[in-house]
Amino acid sequence: MLLVCGRTWADGNLKLQKVVPDVYAIVGELGNRTEENLGNNATFGFVVTTDGVVLIDSGGTYKGAGNIDALIRTVTDKPVVTVINTGGQDHRWLGNGYFRQRGAQIIASEKALLDQKKRARDQLIALGSLVREESIAGTAAVYADKTFATQFEFGMGGTQFEIHHSGQAHTPGDSYVWLPGKRVMFTGDIVFVERMLGVGPESNSKSWMRVFETVAAYKPRYLIPGHGHATDLSRAQKETYGYLRFLRKSVADFMGNGGDISAIGSLDQSQYSYLQNYDSIAGRNAQQVFAEMEWE
């Protein structure tokens, strides 16, 4: 049973969830980026070690990163010394500047770094519209100073960390962080629970399924997803892998019956209508997977 700490950082709409001793999820809102959540509409996490804190994903804005840091300080007075960016989505890395100023090292996969550089300008423009310019003050594109191709391991304060990039998922550089001694996996945007995942132009649904299979092979005790509360593998399989499998099969059947992309909105996805953001995302997901499968 997961222990939900119940403490909320009111300014940032972030909830603290203790997963196992010294390992925490920071659960942001499931909806869109807003001025109130400062772009922190995702799940982050951190590990407390004797040598400092390792943070998984830095938040969507400079001020949003400050809210994450304040929540960490309700648990420990140790500083954040390492930040791992699990991908190229804005809320995975645009808070880097806050932690870099405080001396943290930042780590990301090479493909995540390329994705960040490619989309930084567009992400900052979008944040200015959704979060508003005054709320993104101080936010800048600050990139990792340590990168890796497929795998990077390090130990800190008695805890072993493994970072793996096994292929494109929600974004081209998505990585997962494995704590072998605790059997906990931080998945970044490889796993969504409670809300519908988004298959976008930077995604690849076929590769995403293979990456999920790689994550599942570790048989983690707990998963800290990219969106939603910390969970177990069973729920992640249902709401991420199961949905991707359903979507690809349904689109393949639709195409096999001569369906055109202009009518893909008629695809029945109602069995997943309980997931938040279903109404706004389901149709776009079907369109994107149709476009992908035309070229496979």
- Residue 242 in domain: no
Interacting residues of 112 by C-beta distance below 8 A, sequence separation 6+:
85, 86, 87, 88, 92, 93, 144, 165, 171, 172, 173, 174, 175
- Residue 282 in domain: no
- Residue 93 in domain: yes
pLDDT tens string 50-62: 999 999 999 999 9
pLDDT tens string 212-267: 999 999 999 999 999 999 999 999 999 999 999 999 999 999 999 999 999 998 89
Amino acid identity of 7?
R
Say what the pLDDT of residue 239 is.
Answer: 98
pLDDT tens string 7-46: 434 344 899 999 999 999 999 999 999 999 999 999 999 9
Instruction: For residue 30, give the CATH number of its domain.
Output: 3.60.15.10
Domain count, the chain: 1
- Residue 84 in domain: yes
Task: Map residue 241 onto helix, strand or coil.
Answer: helix
Q: Which domain holds residue 146?
A: 3-234
- Residue 109 in domain: yes
